[in-house]
């Protein structure tokens, strides 16, 4: 999936400057995907999200709900939602060797196998991504049982 995605990106989007790469696996759906984002798209998504947060924050303050206001404090500075990446689900794989509903059926124990596997994929993808046009603040992340955008590799 990684090799195919990088070749496809290089061949079909030669001027695409990569700001973020996200690789995720959904063990319940038995699917993995790789996603690419640009700095411009990330800023646009963040501005929209922070505008929404600001509105909710102001409403919560006005209502005197300081606990809720704290949840809506605008603080995002990078798009960290693969669903909002410029090239989301750019390359997708259906895993025939992973049983559907694996996470649910194992009550999350599948992550003992998935976490090290995703770490290996992340290391491999990071090395491969060095051949792409990368933004200075480039990062690559893989998901975990805690977040869709978790373990990180950066150029710095």
pLDDT in tens, 76-131: 689 999 999 999 999 999 999 999 999 999 999 999 999 999 999 999 999 999 99
Across the beta sheet with 87-94, the strand order is 87-94, 31-37, 18-26, 134-142, 151-154
Q: Find the mean pLDDT for residues 135-148.
A: 97
DSSP lists the bridge partners of residue 140 as 21, 153
What is the pLDDT averaged over residues 51-65?
88
- Whole-angstrom distance, CA of residue 29 vs CA of residue 43: 30
**Residues spanned by the domain of 63:** 2-154
**Total domains in the fold of the chain:** 1
- The per-residue pLDDT for 118 is 98
30-39, 70-79, 95-104: segment of lowest average pLDDT: 70-79
In terms of Cα–Cα distance, which of 7, 12, 16, 21 is closest to 154?
Answer: 21
* SS3 track for 66-87: HHHHHHCCCCCCCCCCHHHCCE
- pTM listed for this prediction: 0.88
């Amino acid at each position: 999936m990684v090799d195919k995605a990088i070749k496809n990106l290089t061949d079909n989007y030669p001027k695409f400057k990569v700001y973020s790469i996200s690789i995720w696996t959904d063990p319940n759906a038995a699917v993995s995907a790789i996603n690419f984002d640009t700095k411009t798209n990330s800023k646009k998504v963040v501005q929209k999200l922070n505008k929404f947060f600001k509105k909710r924050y102001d409403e919560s303050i006005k209502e005197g709900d300081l606990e809720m206001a704290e949840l809506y404090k605008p603080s995002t500075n990078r798009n960290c939602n693969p669903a909002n990446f410029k090239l989301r689900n750019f390359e997708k794989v259906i895993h025939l060797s992973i049983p559907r509903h694996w996470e649910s059926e194992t009550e999350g124990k599948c992550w003992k196998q998935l976490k090290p596997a995703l770490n290996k994929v992340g290391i491999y993808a990071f090395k491969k991504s060095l051949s792409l046009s990368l933004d200075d603040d480039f990062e690559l992340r893989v998901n975990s049982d805690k977040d869709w955008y978790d373990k990180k590799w950066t150029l710095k």
